[in-house]
Amino acid sequence: MPFPVDRPRRLRRTPALRRLVRETRLRADDLILPAFVNEALDAPREISTMPGQFQESHDSLLRTVSDAKAAGINAVILFGIPQHKDAEGSEAWNEQGVVQTAIRRLKHEFGDAMVVIADNCLDEYTDHGHCGVLRPDGSVDNDATLDLYARTAVAQAAAGADIIAPSGMMDGQVAAIRQALDDNGFDETAILAYSAKYASVMYGPFRVAADSAPKQGDRRSYQMDVANQREAIRETLLDIDEGADMVMVKPAMTALDVVARVRDATDLPLCAYCVSGEYAMLRAAAAAGAFEERAAVLETLIGIRRAGADMVITYHAREVARWLDEEEA
């Protein structure tokens, strides 16, 4: 019986051949480093639910970002833990607040060589842990919250943020932030919209890291139902209409179908967030001997890129950048 003419295995024979015809590539500058900065710390503190990850002091944040930059990572997204919290989350827009201070220090140190993204939400700043202002019945007041997101965005842009990333899933948040930025002379500041953000159990370790778990209730009334896919496309298109420059799907690993659908729906830059629970699962499984961490993480990130993400937020960013550098050597 003659062999078929088309023999794909010919191109799999050696590592060099496989690299030559590889369809999807992962580079250090596809990665965004997430960083937690805690106003109360003088030194980094390991996060109990995320082994190998730390809440940073302002000084240690500079060292961490410098290390990331040396490894080839060119973007960081900041999450703040303030010393003071209140019902409105007023530290979010404080000009001297934890994230604004961190932004100024990073921009002074790195200038335009490092893209600084400011997460824009209130859950880390409110004493109740929700992403917006609460009504007397405990529900989130969408429209009242928009005004506070806008104030926060202006404070972040004034501090030097290159990109504002609204993550609260309030209706109209992108439009409110775009208007506020433009009205205050920050028309060059970009918006990365958390467009398809699911109400996922995978955020548990993050909520410990950012001290942002709701004191009562949950966020299912404003974050997306994990069962819905078409809604993610609708949310994404709404954000684009409101002025988003980039869009995001979160989580990444458990929403690869959504990443692919969003990729088909828009040509805008698409980010996927490999979230804290996904990081913790990979670390735990590797620690238990289920697989080698390096291989599993690289395969996971390639899968996210293959689904259509242009960039990935990952807590493995610095390790991955070093692994990729070793592969190139």
Q: Tens-digit pLDDT profile for the chain (329 aa)?
A: 566 667 888 899 999 999 999 999 999 999 999 999 999 999 999 999 999 999 999 999 999 999 999 999 999 999 999 999 999 999 999 999 999 999 999 999 999 999 999 999 999 999 999 999 999 999 999 999 999 999 999 999 999 999 999 999 999 999 999 999 999 999 999 999 999 999 999 999 999 999 899 988 899 999 999 999 999 999 999 999 999 999 999 999 999 999 999 999 999 999 999 999 999 999 999 999 999 999 999 999 999 999 999 999 999 999 999 999 998 76
pLDDT given at position 4: 63
How far is 34 from 53, CA to CA, in rounded Å?
A: 10
Q: How far is CA 320 from CA 113, 218, 242, 302, in A?
A: 20, 33, 34, 11
Q: Is residue 106 part of a domain?
A: yes
Q: Is residue 3 part of a domain?
A: no
pLDDT given at position 3: 61
Residue with tokens 């600084």: 116
- Provide the 3-class DSSP secondary structure of residue 255: helix
Q: Is residue 11 part of a domain?
A: no
pLDDT given at position 29: 96
Q: What does the block give as tokens for 328?
A: 């190139």
pLDDT given at position 274: 98
pLDDT given at position 327: 84
Dihedral over alpha carbons 277, 281, 287, 291 (to 10 degrees): -150
Residues designated as active site: 197, 250
Q: What is the pTM of this model?
A: 0.96
* Domain, as residue range, for 122: 23-328
Q: What does the block give as tokens for 65?
A: 């970002």
Q: Is residue 5 part of a domain?
A: no
Q: Is residue 1 part of a domain?
A: no
Q: Is residue 116 part of a domain?
A: yes
Q: Residue 108 maps to which CATH number?
A: 3.20.20.70
Residue 137 CB partners (closer than 8 Å, separation 6+): none
Q: Is residue 6 part of a domain?
A: no
Q: Is residue 180 part of a domain?
A: yes
Query: For the chain, how many structural domains are there in total?
Result: 1
Residue 301 CB partners (closer than 8 Å, separation 6+): 26, 31, 274, 312, 314, 316, 320
